[in-house]
């Protein structure tokens, strides 16, 4: 919702100052829910916050166009997950976790007009019944109105919608929208139709109700009306949707309200600028108040949230480092482009690794997820310069990512091979640890001779020997170099070529 880099991008195309960003969550249904949650807190019908974590499953949906393009990069979702964990970890007992795989939804309507009927139906159909569903789309901004919509919580379908740019920049917008999911309202609720303006509403304020609405205005003095105005919570100070008036008579730039504003009783407004549910940009770390945390706790435990509650305990071990890439390393030349082996350091507590490989000049990216610290990739092109990095993660931790490593591919092809008369070719053990001896198990249909070569993964010849196979099972011994890495063992005869890779650890 508020992020410096977004504002920089936006000011490139806009000269309007103070046109910050917003979310279009419908607050009508939230009023009933927050009141119900306040009532259950007051009546002690929910357990009070005891510090037990409230594990909250998050299902991410990458919405692409109907042709299956334009998805949000998963590595950016992981960055945003890191942000979400930090935002909630310090100020509430909600513990968001990634539930399962990252889903995709191909719908141009949802991608560019998620509020339209067809799009809502498509997203609702794709939603996971036991998760908080987050749909990441290209655009959420409807024409008209002030500011740019960054995301929203849809109370009718009970899912969150985020625009890609917010995810890309790991703003606190997702944390804000999840606050709505748990029934929190904007502290400035009531002012949306006509944001506060010094010229229009006076300073000190001249109204007790927002003109043109029936919304009573929250006063600074908590003894007056904080229980049923604004966000209906009393430890979030009064706030009047500053910075959004068309005459730019207030500014919230740099997390600072100017000028000083006074309410109807002459009390100076002291908004909590860094409140997660307000709109102030550039506040660094945003926070929830104690009451906001209590309400979210009550909402999690309310009947309407039974679908996300379970006995499941996610992996909450923190990942504290990024891996170093082992192969390809910086500057490596990988001759055979169509079957490239990637390997990196295993990272403690990482259950999965996201590998991103980017064409350096064109910028196109491919992403893979694997649960082991290595990967075979067959999708690369010949004679290209690629950058790759690894992003280790588990359900709740995703804050470290490797640096980029750049390598080149050549034009050699590791073909889809066969040798007539050879029905199987395997290497044992593979990977090889604590030894250099390997056995080649080869089944041959007939007596035949062939050449066996051992090469590095980049194609450099290490050894070559001539062997004769008999009909049936053959077991041939071979010795690898001591150096850890990937080696190619090739069988070659006049009848064809076969290659197997073996990993020396
Ligand atoms: Zn909002």
Q: Spell out the per-residue pLDDT of the chain, length 505, in tens.
A: 222 222 222 222 222 333 346 788 888 999 999 999 999 999 987 666 666 899 999 999 999 999 999 999 999 999 999 999 999 999 999 999 999 999 999 999 999 999 999 999 999 999 999 999 999 999 888 876 666 788 999 999 999 999 999 888 888 899 999 999 999 999 999 998 889 999 999 999 999 999 999 999 999 999 999 999 999 999 999 999 999 888 999 999 999 999 999 999 999 999 999 999 999 988 989 999 999 999 999 999 999 999 999 999 999 999 999 999 999 999 999 988 988 889 999 999 999 999 999 999 999 999 999 998 988 898 999 999 999 999 999 999 999 999 999 999 999 887 556 777 888 888 888 889 888 999 999 999 888 888 898 988 777 789 888 888 889 899 999 999 998 888 889 888 777 778 888 888 8
Residue-wise DSSP of 161-183: EEEHHHHHTT-SHHHHHHHHHTT
CA distance 308 to 396: 16
State in Å: Cα 328 to ligand 1 middle: 44
State in Å: Cα 153 to ligand 1 middle: 8
- For the purposes of burial, counting CB atoms within 10 Å of the CB of 108, is it exposed (0-12), middle (13-18) or buried (19 or more)? middle
CA distance 23 to 467: 71
Taking the model in full, what pTM does it have?
0.82
State in Å: Cα 22 to ligand 1 middle: 7
Beta bridge partners of 190: none
State in Å: Cα 15 to ligand 1 middle: 24
CA-based nearest residue to 342, from 364, 362, 369, 360: 369
State in Å: Cα 387 to ligand 1 middle: 37
Q: Which CATH class is domain 325-412?
A: mainly beta
CA distance 109 to 127: 16
State in Å: Cα 212 to ligand 1 middle: 22
CA distance 367 to 357: 6
State in Å: Cα 276 to ligand 1 middle: 9
Same fold, 23-185 and 418-504: no
State in Å: Cα 104 to ligand 1 middle: 25
CA distance 335 to 458: 5
State in Å: Cα 26 to ligand 1 middle: 9
Cβ atoms of 75 and 357 within 8 Å: the answer is: no
Q: For 195-338, list the strands marked E by DSSP.
A: 325-327, 333-336
State in Å: Cα 23 to ligand 1 middle: 4
State in Å: Cα 150 to ligand 1 middle: 9
The CATH number of domain 23-185 is 3.40.630.30: no
Cβ atoms within 10 Å, residue 400? 19
How big is the chain, counted in residues? 505
State in Å: Cα 180 to ligand 1 middle: 7
- Output the pLDDT for position 415: 58
- Output the pLDDT for position 289: 97
The CATH number of domain 418-504 is 2.102.10.10: no
State in Å: Cα 175 to ligand 1 middle: 10
State in Å: Cα 111 to ligand 1 middle: 20
State in Å: Cα 313 to ligand 1 middle: 29
Q: What is the H or E stretch that residue 77 is in? A: helix 74-91
State in Å: Cα 7 to ligand 1 middle: 17
Contacts of 213 (CB under 8 A, 6+ apart): 190, 193, 194
State in Å: Cα 25 to ligand 1 middle: 6
State in Å: Cα 278 to ligand 1 middle: 7
State in Å: Cα 160 to ligand 1 middle: 11
State in Å: Cα 186 to ligand 1 middle: 6
The alpha-helical segments, DSSP class H, found in 202-332 are 222-225, 290-300
The alpha-helical segments, DSSP class H, found in 281-341 are 290-300
- For the chain, the structural domain boundaries read 23-185, 325-412, 418-504
Phi, psi of 443, deg, nearest 5: -100, 125
State in Å: Cα 477 to ligand 1 middle: 67
Largest CA distance in the chain: 102
State in Å: Cα 421 to ligand 1 middle: 68
């Amino acid at each position: 919702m508020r992020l410096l880099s977004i504002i920089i991008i936006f000011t490139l195309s806009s000269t309007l100052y103070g046109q910050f960003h917003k979310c279009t969550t419908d607050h009508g249904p939230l009023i009933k829910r927050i009141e119900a949650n306040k009532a259950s807190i007051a009546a002690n019908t929910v357990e009070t916050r005891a510090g037990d974590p409230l594990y909250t499953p998050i299902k991410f949906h990458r919405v692409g166009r109907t042709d299956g393009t334009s998805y949000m990069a998963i590595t950016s979702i992981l960055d945003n997950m890191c942000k979400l964990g930090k935002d909630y970890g310090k100020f509430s007992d909600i513990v968001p976790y990634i539930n399962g795989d990252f889903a995709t939804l191909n719908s141009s309507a949802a991608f560019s007009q998620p509020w339209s009927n067809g799009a809502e139906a498509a997203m609702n159909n794709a939603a996971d019944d036991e998760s908080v569903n987050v749909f990441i789309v290209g655009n959420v901004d409807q024409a008209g109105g002030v500011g740019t919509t960054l995301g929203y919580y849809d109370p009718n379908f009970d899912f969150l919608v985020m625009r890609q740019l917010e995810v890309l920049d790991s703003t606190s917008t997702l944390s804000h929208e999840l606050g709505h999911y748990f029934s929190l309202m904007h502290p400035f609720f009531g002012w949306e139709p006509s944001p506060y303006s010094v010229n229009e509403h006076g300073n000190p304020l001249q109204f007790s109700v927002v003109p043109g609405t029936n919304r009573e205005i929250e006063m600074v003095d908590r003894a007056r009306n904080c229980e049923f105005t604004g966000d209906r919570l009393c430890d979030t100070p009064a706030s009047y949707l500053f910075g959004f008036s068309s005459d730019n008579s207030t500014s919230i730039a740099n997390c600072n309200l100017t000028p000083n504003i006074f309410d109807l009783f002459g009390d100076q407004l002291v908004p909590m600028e860094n409140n997660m549910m307000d709109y102030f940009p550039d506040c660094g770390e945003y926070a929830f108040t104690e009451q906001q945390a209590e309400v979210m706790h009550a909402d999690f435990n309310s009947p309407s949230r039974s679908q996300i509650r379970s006995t499941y305990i996610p992996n909450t071990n923190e990942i504290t480092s990024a891996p170093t890439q082992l192969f390809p390393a910086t500057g490596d030349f990988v001759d055979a482009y169509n079957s490239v082996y990637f390997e990196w350091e295993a990272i403690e507590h990482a259950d999965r690794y996201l590998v991103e490989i980017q064409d350096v000049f064109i910028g196109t990216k491919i992403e893979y997820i694997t649960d082991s610290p290595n990967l075979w990739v067959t999708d690369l092109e010949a004679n290209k310069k690629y950058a790759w990095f690894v992003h280790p993660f588990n359900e709740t931790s995703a804050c470290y990512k490797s640096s980029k490593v750049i390598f080149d591919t050549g034009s050699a092809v590791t073909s889809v091979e066969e040798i007539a008369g050879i029905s199987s070719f395997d290497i044992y053990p593979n990977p090889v640890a604590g030894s250099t001896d390997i056995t080649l198990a080869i089944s041959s249909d007939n007596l035949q001779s062939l050449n066996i070569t051992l090469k590095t993964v980049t194609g450099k010849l290490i050894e070559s020997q001539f062997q004769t196979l008999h009909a049936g099972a053959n077991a041939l011994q071979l010795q690898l170099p001591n150096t850890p890495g990937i080696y190619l063992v090739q069988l070659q005869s006049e009848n064809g070529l076969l290659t197997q890779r073996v990993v020396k650890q």
